[in-house]
Amino acid sequence: MEEERLYFQCGDLRLEGLLGDADSSRGVVITHPHPLYGGDMHNNIVDAIRWAYHRNGYTTLRFNFRGVGTSHGSYDDGIGEQDDISAAINFLIGKGCREIHLAGYSFGAWVISKGLPRYEQVVQVVMVSPPAAFLEFSFNGPEPRIGLVITGSHDDIAPPSLAKKLLEQWNPDAELKIV
C-alpha cells in the first residue's frame, strides 16, 4: 500500500504524517521512539508495525510528534505529545475509521500509556518495547484495552521480567510476546 504524505492539525500545530488508506473502518495510529534520541515515523520498527496492520486491512497513520521532521512545535516531555495522539485519532475518525487502535514503539508506547484514559475511542493498544526501565508507566487501575506487549529477550529498556510484571497489573489477559 502506498502511503500519502499529509499534514493534520493539533491545535495551532501542523503535524506531519503518512497515511496508508485501506478504505477501512478500522484504523491504527502508530507512534515512534524518543525524538531526543533520533526517533521519528521513519523508524524501521514503526514501519514494521505499519506493515503488519496494513496486511490485516487497517488504515494506518504514522506521524511525527511535535518538533520532529516537519511537524511544528517542540518536544514537550510526553505531555503535548498526548495531544498529538488525540489529533491523530480524530484525523482517522474524520477519514471514516470507527474502530481505532493504537500501536506505540518505545517512547511512543509510553506516551500512549500516559494519555490512554482520555483516548475513549480506542479499542485496543499494542506496545512494542515499552521503556519501563527508563520511564515510569502507571495507570489508575487495570487497562483492558492493552492487548499485546512485545519486547526483546535482551531488551535493557523493556526487560521481559518488568514487562511481565507490568502486564499483570495492566491486563493479565493480554499477550506478552518475547522475541
Query: How far is residue 16 from each of residues 2, 13, 42, 72, 113, measured CA to CA in Å?
Result: 16, 10, 12, 8, 22
90 or 23: which leads in pLDDT: 90
CA distance 89 to 93: 6
Phi/psi of residue 28, nearest 5 degrees: -135, 135
**Residue pair 101/28 in contact by the 8 Å Cβ criterion:** yes
- Mean pLDDT of the region 148-157: 98
Closest-CA residue to 32 (of 117, 97, 136, 112): 112
Quickly state the pLDDT bin for 90 (edges 50, 70, 90). very high
Please say whether the beta carbons of 83 and 53 come within 8 A: no
- Asked if 130 and 107 touch (Cβ cutoff 8 Å), the reply is no
DSSP string, 67-102: TSTT--S---TTTHHHHHHHHHHHHHHHTT--EEEE
**Per-residue pLDDT at 23:** 87
The DSSP secondary structure of 11-43, one letter per residue, reads TTEEEEEEEE----SEEEEEE-S-GGGT--TT-
* pLDDT (0 to 100) of residue 106: 98
* pTM for this predicted structure: 0.97
Q: Report whether pLDDT(93) > 70.
A: yes
How high is the mean pLDDT of the chain?
96
Using the predicted structure, report yes or no on whether residue 1 has a pLDDT greater than 80.
no
Arithmetic mean of pLDDT, 31-57: 98
Query: Tens digits of per-residue pLDDT, 102-144?
Result: 999 999 999 999 999 999 999 999 999 999 999 998 776 799 9
- Domains, the chain: 14-130 (3.40.50.1820)
pLDDT value, residue 140 = 66
Give CA–CA dist 108/131, Å, rounded.
9
pLDDT at 34: 98
pLDDT for the residue 141: 74
